[in-house]
Amino acid sequence: MKIKTIRFVVILIVPIVGLQLFIGTAISKSNTLDDFLLISFAQGVNLYRKDYDDGNPDFVQEVNLSQSASIELLHGGIINEGKNQGVYGGDDPWIQRQTLEEAWENFSTSSDRAFCITNGQFFSTNDNPTPLAFPLKTGGVIVSDGYGINEFPNEKLMLEIWKDRVNISLLSQEALMSSNAPDIVVGLNPVANKNPEGSIGRTFIGIKDDNSDGQYEEILVFSTKTARQIDAVKVLQSFGAEKIMMLDGGGSTQLICGGIGYVVSDRTIPQTIAVQSGDIPTTQALVVSKPDWPILVEQDSLSVEIVIKNVGLDIWTPEEYSLVNVTNPWGEEEMFKMPTEIRPGETVSFTWTTSGFNGWGVFSTKWQVSNGTDTSVNELIEFSVVVLPEELEAKRQELQEEVDQWVDEQTQNIEQLIVSWIQQQVNKTINETCIPTATFFPLIFVMILFMRNRPGIMKDKRNKKEKN
């Protein structure tokens, strides 16, 4: 397969994020963000503060997982495991409460990238140790089912955390048990009735798709000593939050960053949310866009465009840096040099057109930014193209809708599902073609038998033939 054309474009991407509440109502961006001051930052994380003349300050953390920042769900020591006593048949442990200062000390001692720590889960304030109100999952293990299955029905949300993305969705037993997210903390819909008009401590979580790739890679954490629920929601919306979840508030709301207590309370808590900054690698590429399961028909070619952002420390020079193919180049070219110097924060676009694909199926390729000596710090840029048999060209849109749904639902084994779908359609086409023929043969056989059982007719035909 040969590359037909190739061109390079250096561009600066400014993502535009559509805003909406988790419950689906459209909102407009306010000017709240203009009043926030950046007071601390590190790789992939920022801390903002807004002061009020007659009130307590608001704080917002930005945590960008695509820049190697991370979130950890921590909890105190388990005193009683509560084996098989959970509402879903799992555990319902009693957890030792601790001050946020103690939690920060443990966290910052274990990580040299500790940035902030805040409170998390709802719990019973009357007990110490205490059970958690709702489910908690850490390191791939469901620590607690929670006791509050009957509290706030249909208003419990779960924050699913992967290494590179997050999501907020409605909690159910099936959703919790089937999720492949290694870490999950459960909270409430931001409009749930938790003293909504009271100016009390609030801890809210928002998420957004920072680069418009269809996945939520940025987490926003709102903390304040005094706010109404709607105030917390509006602040997160001004930062671009597209889905929002409420965590424990009131006297539980606390925030420590870099050892400094910004929101302070005497209340001890059983569970915390810890934020780590990312490492700053020398060579690091962030994929801004790439082909997203395009669907072709046999002999079609594919117009490929990959947009990459330099999020490392080095300048990508044409002499040192290239986009290198790892597997299946789909053509003769296996390395594209940088068209010009790409400085940190800038993006570059690689565009080319392949020749036609022979045969149907799913074809995958992998690429990587390389300086010729070290590519280990860069994740592979992997994408796939779907090629249909020519006889299924009319089914292209139908398959596209199926694939879009699988991608939206973050379904695993999409490639296998696509191949299975194509095979089923091929078999269906074969059966539809063969059935009329199979039905026609018995009809011919019956006609022959009928003619043989009418000797007069056959004889008349032979006589006419002899006369002629």
Q: Quote the CA–CA distance of 140 and 459 in Å, as a whole number.
A: 86
Q: What is the pLDDT of residues 17-27, one digit of tens each?
A: 333 334 332 23
Lowest mean pLDDT among 80-89, 172-181, 420-429: 420-429
Looking at residue 377, what is its pLDDT? 52
pTM of structure: 0.60
Q: Tell me the chain's radius of gyration from C-alpha atoms.
A: 30
In 3-state terms the chain splits into helix, strand, coil percentages (rounded to 5) of 25, 35, 40
Do 144 and 129 meet the contact criterion of CB atoms below 8 Å apart? no
85 φ, ψ to 5°? -105, 5
Lowest mean pLDDT among 111-115, 327-331, 399-403: 327-331
Q: Are strands 295-297 and 381-388 parallel, antiparallel or unpaired?
A: parallel
Q: Letter for the amino acid at 110?
A: S
Q: Does 9 have pLDDT greater than 60? A: no
Pick the most confident of 175-184, 340-349, 439-448: 175-184
The CATH homologous superfamily for domain 5-10+281-394 is Immunoglobulins (2.60.40.10)
For residue 57, the SS3 value is coil
DSSP designation for 79: E
Q: Is 330 helix (H, G, I), strand (E, B) or coil?
A: coil
pLDDT bucket at 283, cuts 50 / 70 / 90: confident
State residue 255's pLDDT score. Answer: 98
* Per-residue model confidence (pLDDT) at position 15: 35
Binning pLDDT at 50, 70 and 90, where does residue 281 land?
confident
Comparing 26-40, 216-230, 249-263, 277-291, which segment has the lowest mean pLDDT?
A: 26-40
**Confidence check: pLDDT of 459 > 50:** no
Which of 50, 101, 107 shows the shortest CA–CA distance to 260?
A: 101
393: left (phi over 0), alpha (psi -120 to 50) or beta: alpha
Average pLDDT in the chain: 85
pLDDT average, residue stretch 158-169? 97
Share of the chain above pLDDT 90, in %: 66
pLDDT value of position 118: 98
Answer yes or no: are the C-beta atoms of 326 and 380 closer than 8 Å.
yes
pLDDT category of residue 345 using cuts at 50, 70 and 90: confident
Q: Where are the domains of the chain?
A: 5-10+281-394, 31-276
pLDDT tens digits, residue range 401-458? 999 999 888 787 888 999 999 989 888 877 776 655 545 455 554 455 445 544 444 4
